[in-house]
């Protein structure tokens, strides 16, 4: 039976560390603050905002909300971002995306107006550059950071390890590969056009699946001794809920360690955003 790598254990430890750091920052006159920029009232955004606010306040991080009209112009949105950039009391910014349809073509340009030092969600090109250069210019996206946080929490050293990542998106698979290579892992990134994904996965020591395909990783993809991190979040009609990319019942008896879905990567991802705000606040003192 595989050991379960549980998001709640990782977040408990992370929250404890953050609470201590926030208390320390407050003694130095810095109150770590997240600014949430929301355009309109999309239900998904409201749900995420509620969760992020709760998690921030639980560790002492303050939250400022800026709610803008859904039909705001590009110029007005950029002006808001510039105000936030100039506001020293704000350390991190979460701006919900995708932006409304009339701003979609300008989304990259608008995101890049955010000061990368406040880019706790990893949406600017300079955050990406910092990740590739392994320099603290901004922040990586939260989900790949959550993968690394889980491995760290359970003391899994990736140095020299063969890791197969299934999925090559710019928000999950690719940055996960960079973060793991920065730690000297040997990474094989597979995507929809890759050959022999099953064999490549079965040969790896760690599998990170981020394809977004329900049940993609089956018994044939895995071998004894492996660690499987399931990033996938897919609607599963059989259980009328969410499941990962990994066919859990088939894979769990074979491998050594595995993250469940739900209760694995997703649980950690939401706390990473808040930990990035704390780090951004710490960096202002350096």
Chain positions contacting ligand NAD, by CB under 6 A: 143, 166-169, 171-173, 190-192, 194, 197, 210-213, 216, 231-234, 265-266, 269
DSSP string spanning 196-228? Answer: -HHHHHHH-SEEEE-S--TT-B-GGG--TT-EE
Q: How far is the CB of 88 from ligand NAD (least distance, A)?
A: 30
Q: How far is the CB of 216 from ligand NAD (least distance, A)?
A: 5
CA 64 from chain center: how many Å? 21
Distance, CA of 26 to CA of 256 (rounded, Å): 42
Count the neighbouring beta carbons within 10 Å of the beta carbon of residue 73. Answer: 11
Q: Of the two residues 146 and 278, which places its CB atom closer to ligand NAD in the complex?
A: 146
Q: Of the two residues 117 and 221, which places its CB atom closer to ligand NAD in the complex?
A: 221
Q: How far is the CB of 37 from ligand NAD (least distance, A)?
A: 20
State the alpha helices, DSSP H only, in the chain: 7-27, 43-58, 74-86, 107-111, 125-133, 142-153, 173-181, 197-203, 248-251, 265-283
Q: How far is the CB of 244 from ligand NAD (least distance, A)?
A: 8
Q: How far is the CB of 176 from ligand NAD (least distance, A)?
A: 9
Q: Of the two residues 25 and 246, which places its CB atom closer to ligand NAD in the complex?
A: 246
Q: Of the two residues 119 and 230, which places its CB atom closer to ligand NAD in the complex?
A: 230
Residue with tokens 């008896």: 253
């Amino acid at each position: 039976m595989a050991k379960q790598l549980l998001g709640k254990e990782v977040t408990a430890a992370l929250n404890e560390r953050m609470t201590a750091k926030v208390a320390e920052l407050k003694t130095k006159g810095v109150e770590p603050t997240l600014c949430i920029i929301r355009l309109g009232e999309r239900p998904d955004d409201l749900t995420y905002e509620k969760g992020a606010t709760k998690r921030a306040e639980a560790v002492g991080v303050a939250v400022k909300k800026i709610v803008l009209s859904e039909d705001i112009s590009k110029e007005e949105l950029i002006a808001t971002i510039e105000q936030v950039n100039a506001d020293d009391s704000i350390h991190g910014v979460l701006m919900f995306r995708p932006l409304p349809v009339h701003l979609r073509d300008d989304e990259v340009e608008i995101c890049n107006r955010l000061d990368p030092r406040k880019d706790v969600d990893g949406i600017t090109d300079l955050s990406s550059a910092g990740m590739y250069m392994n320099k603290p210019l901004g922040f990586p996206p939260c989900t790949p950071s959550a993968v690394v946080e889980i491995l760290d929490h359970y003391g899994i050293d990736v140095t020299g390890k063969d890791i197969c990542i299934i999925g090559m998106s710019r928000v999950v698979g690719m940055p996960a590969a960079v973060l793991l290579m920065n730690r000297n892992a040997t990474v094989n990134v597979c995507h929809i056009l890759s050959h022999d994904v099953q064999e490549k996965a079965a040969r790896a020591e760690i599998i990170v699946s981020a394809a977004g395909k329900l049940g993609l990783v089956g018994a044939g993809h895995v071998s004894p001794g492996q660690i499987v991190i399931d990033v996938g979040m897919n609607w599963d009609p059989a259980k009328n809920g969410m499941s990962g990319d990994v066919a859990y019942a088939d894979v769990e008896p074979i491998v050594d360690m595995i993250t469940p879905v739900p209760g694995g990567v997703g649980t950690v991802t939401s706390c990473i955003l808040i930990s990035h705000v704390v780090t951004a606040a710490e960096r202002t003192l350096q």
